[in-house]
Chain A
């Protein structure tokens, strides 16, 4: 697959550092003079813009939290007059008041650029047909991918989310090559394809860019097999820009971050200290080209790790590991940290299970309980009770040995766990703490 922008995607570390330093210095000046929030924070830390001389000085700056965006709702952290803002998006607000982000014309161009890099890494060219099944609207997924696809020059099919059988019909009739949606929806599309009796070879689908929720390598394999495609992980969050903050190449071994625009750091979420390359911790971003809503050391709450060096694809951009969980959706069950994605991996390792599952956490007396509901499938089913009980035991043992928590396994009828066309709901926490 060709690099969309080899100059930026393959530059040397020295060149990248000096570009980042120059852009960081400008960004810090801009927020200090234009955004009271940042000015106050820097003053409290005893900093003036001149203290930031190179990218090495980044760690001196204070963090920005999602709560800061909420406290300054809706436009308080914008660094340009509203007359310069040409687009407004907002996060879904599932964990509180929604956060609002604004883009200038140049920000939209930056976004299109990083999304063009993302799609080119999946093989997109001007001859491609790209089906955008992310939702369009305040959510950044749909329009973000859309603008990148237009920048590449591909034919964009802006179908948005939902209406699954129509998605498949259009995929078949319009000759879609690249699909963009959430991984759980990709899997749902694959299942529906089966039900509609359409063979994957009747489609021209070659690749998919899937993101907006955590998924596992096993789930990737299942999507790749069922749809006959290359499935790539993409990463983004509206606060930083939307989709396009990191993207996998055909190596499928980490996601490249366009660090000429977004500088990543991994920190210890408890101490705030910067971790060395390769270590796991919370991902933090500083945007260095954004005008509308520049962010300084924004805490994503996503857990990842960074790897530097030249990738097999030729890109020199730093790679982030697949997000292994969030510091805030991490469940603590009887004192053990549990990420839903770990349970998903276990279920897929057992092999025959389709990854539709639901975790129900409750507290009986003082004891946390974890119930894992797993949907029955034709492959798992047996007419013998002992075989099904053995299956439950197998799942239970595997969860216990991998995660260190015991769980009650409950086999449920197929299609009884709600499917979502956006982010899948994997956890119901009934505990009242």
Chain B
């Protein structure tokens, strides 16, 4: 149920983001979702791609610092309170969220969210039990 997310260390220098996406593009790796966390000096680029292992390897080969982490992808109903429902569930089982980001799926009635939590297995199980749709990795990679 867990999705592999690739994180890349980037200095805040122009052209670095272009370089990463270029490397991935040349290897025919498709990006489903991305988010950047930045500080004044550096940023962390987080990516969901269709071939995470290959992406990690290619970027390392080019000298980037890369890590791979398990995250959860959920689909919530695109209406007020949709996300709150999912977050309440996590709170009820005391799973903290490190960070999250939303991204665009193919359907207009659902919103997709990536969650990075401390205990992904436990979180996914709790969400599933509460009828929140946890999306399988294969579906996310194909987006």
Contacts and interface: CB of A to CB of B under 8 A. Distances in A.
A378 B60 CA distance: 10
A415 interface: yes
Interface stretch (B34-42, B74-82, B104-112): B34-42
Contacts of B37: 385
28 contacts: A376-B9, A378-B66, A378-B67, A381-B7, A381-B9, A381-B65, A381-B66, A381-B67, A383-B5, A383-B44, A383-B46, A383-B67, A383-B69, A384-B116, A385-B37, A385-B39, A388-B39, A389-B39, A411-B9, A411-B41, A411-B42, A412-B11, A413-B9, A413-B10, A413-B63, A414-B63, A414-B64, A416-B11
A377 interface: yes
10 closest pairs, A vs B, by CB?
A: A383-B7, A376-B65, A381-B65, A385-B37, A376-B9, A415-B63, A413-B11, A383-B69, A410-B41, A381-B67
Contacts of B39: 385, 388-389
Nearest to B9: A376
Given A410-B41, A413-B63, 8 more contacts: A376-B65, A382-B7, A384-B44, A384-B98, A413-B11, A413-B64, A414-B63, A414-B65
Contacts of B98: 384
Interface in B15-43: 16, 37, 39, 41-42
Of the candidates B16, B44, B65, B69, the one having the most CB atoms from chain A within 10 angstroms of its own CB is B65
B117 to A, nearest CB: 12
B9, B16, B42, B69 pick with most chain A CB within 10 angstroms:
B9
A411 B99 CA distance: 21
A388 B42 contact: yes
Nearest to B40: A410
Interface of B is mostly: strand
A contact residues, range? 10 to 19
B53 to A, nearest CB: 15
A102 B27 CA distance: 58
Contacts, number: 50
Contacts of B42: 388, 411-412
B30 to A, nearest CB: 20
Nearest to A412: B11
Nearest to B98: A384
A24 B44 CA distance: 64
Contacts of A415: 63
Interface in A49-78: none
A416 B11 CA distance: 10
A411 B98 CA distance: 21
Contact of B44 (A385, A412, A414): A385
B35 to A, nearest CB: 10
Contacts of B44: 383-385, 388
Given A381-B9, A385-B37, A389-B39, A413 B46 contact: no
Contacts of B11: 411-413, 416
Interface string A382-413: 11110011000000000000000000001111
Interface in A120-142: none
Given A376-B65, A378-B65, A383 B10 contact: no
A382 B8 CA distance: 9
A423 to B, nearest CB: 24
A196 B7 CA distance: 24
A381 B6 CA distance: 12
A383 B68 CA distance: 8
Contacts of A382: 7, 67
Nearest to A380: B65
A388 B10 CA distance: 12
Interface in A352-383: 376-378, 381-383
A314 to B, nearest CB: 48
A205 to B, nearest CB: 26
Nearest to B7: A383
Interface in B72-117: 98-99, 116
Contacts of B116: 383-384
Interface string A26-67: 000000000000000000000000000000000000000000
A412 B39 CA distance: 13
A394 B66 CA distance: 22
A384 B65 CA distance: 14
A232 B104 CA distance: 59
Nearest to A383: B7
A388 B65 CA distance: 13
Contacts of A416: 11
A381 B98 CA distance: 16
A389 B38 CA distance: 11
B100 to A, nearest CB: 12
Contacts of A388: 39, 42, 44
B23 to A, nearest CB: 14
Contacts of A377: 65
Nearest to B5: A383
Contacts of A376: 9, 65
B58 to A, nearest CB: 15
Nearest to A377: B65
